[in-house]
């Protein structure tokens, strides 16, 4: 669960470019994996609604604890964790919000200030079902353009209106990384300049070489893909059409092959299965990629 297993995605790198081009007001996220910071986005530019692993504190007192000390204690084992808690005078945990706990005060503070000045809202990869986060889409000034980048059409019960003539709401139906790449290309930006060096990936991910190869291959595929058009009243998908029977068998074979490769690399079975099962369809569709050749036999 501790950050470091996975590298930032092209979508995370896009957020960093938005910031460096002075186009980003703030990045609000429900994720706790700290991949925004890993991509190079300054911590003050991120509002983690459910907290993350950027900080730690003592439960009850809120006293700050060095997050690196907590990480080292957890990796060393239970005895080290107990010693740390005794030294700090209470249970130490990362600054993540558990069920039933109040959201960080910074969430409300930044939401009030930032959304009043929002000129464009980009909504990446979300069901827009969890409150109060989902209500953020309603905080923009009237007529503010709102763009959903998501695999499914969501948010209409939260106030998004994609069908009304003249609506300023639009959508890209497809994978977040593909949407980020499409936006970057329209802006003339190169997401690859912030891709993690392979040596960094090797320390973080047991299957680093295969992951980096897949990322390179995805970049090449994106150059020739006809991406979904971005339009307020036009809905298209970035995924290719498949015949159901053959596609399902192929998808299962690819996921199983990736799962087995991750196991060979030392990843825990549960984590490997979760990773394989959540692979984007764009990666599954890469039938000519050598990493997937055994899965197609």
C-alpha atoms less than 13 angstroms from C-alpha of 46 in its C-beta half-sphere: 24
Give the span between the Cα atoms of 104 and 50, in whole angstroms: 7
DSSP H or E segment with residue 123:
strand 121-124
Question: Dihedrals φ, ψ of 44, to 5°?
Answer: -70, -15
DSSP state of 130: S
* CB atoms closer than 10 angstroms to residue 196: 20
Give the span between the Cα atoms of 174 and 67, in whole angstroms: 36
| Percentages of the chain per state (helix, strand, coil), in multiples of 5 | 45, 10, 40
> Strand pairing of 51-58 and 46-48?
unpaired
Question: Dihedrals φ, ψ of 52, to 5°?
Answer: -160, -165
261, two tokens: 């490769």
DSSP H or E segment with residue 64:
strand 64-65
End-to-end CA distance of the chain: 33
169, two tokens: 């709401």
Catalytic (active-site) positions? 50
63 Cβ neighbours under 8 A, 6+ residues apart: 57, 88, 89, 90
């Amino acid at each position: 669960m501790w950050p470091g297993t996975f590298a930032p995605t092209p979508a995370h790198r896009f957020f960093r470019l938005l910031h460096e081009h002075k186009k980003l007001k703030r990045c609000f996220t429900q994720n706790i994996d700290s991949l925004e910071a890993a991509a190079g986005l300054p911590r003050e530019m991120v509002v983690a609604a459910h907290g993350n692993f950027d900080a730690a504190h003592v439960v009850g007192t809120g006293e700050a604890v060095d997050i690196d000390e907590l990480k080292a204690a957890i990796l060393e084992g239970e005895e080290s964790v107990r010693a740390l808690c005794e030294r700090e005078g209470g249970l130490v945990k990362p600054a993540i919000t558990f069920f039933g706990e109040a959201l960080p005060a910074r969430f409300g503070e930044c939401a009030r200030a930032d959304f009043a000045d929002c000129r464009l809202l980009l909504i990446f990869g979300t069901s827009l079902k969890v409150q109060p986060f989902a209500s953020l889409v309603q905080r923009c000034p009237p007529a503010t353009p709102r763009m959903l980048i998501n695999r499914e059409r969501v948010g209409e019960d939260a106030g998004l209106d994609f069908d009304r003539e003249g609506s300023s709401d639009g959508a890209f139906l497809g994978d977040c990384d593909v949407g980020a790449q499409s936006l970057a290309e329209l802006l003339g930006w190169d997401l690859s300049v912030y891709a993690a060096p392979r040596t960094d990936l090797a320390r973080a991910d047991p299957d680093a070489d295969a992951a980096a190869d897949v990322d390179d291959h995805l970049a090449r595929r994106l150059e020739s893909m006809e991406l979904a058009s971005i339009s307020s009243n036009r809905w298209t998908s970035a995924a290719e059409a498949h015949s159901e029977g053959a596609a399902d068998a192929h998808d299962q074979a690819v996921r199983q092959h990736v799962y087995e490769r991750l196991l060979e690399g030392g990843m825990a079975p549960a984590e490997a299965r979760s990773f394989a099962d959540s692979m984007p369809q764009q990666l599954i569709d890469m039938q000519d990629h050598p990493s997937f050749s055994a899965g197609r036999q």
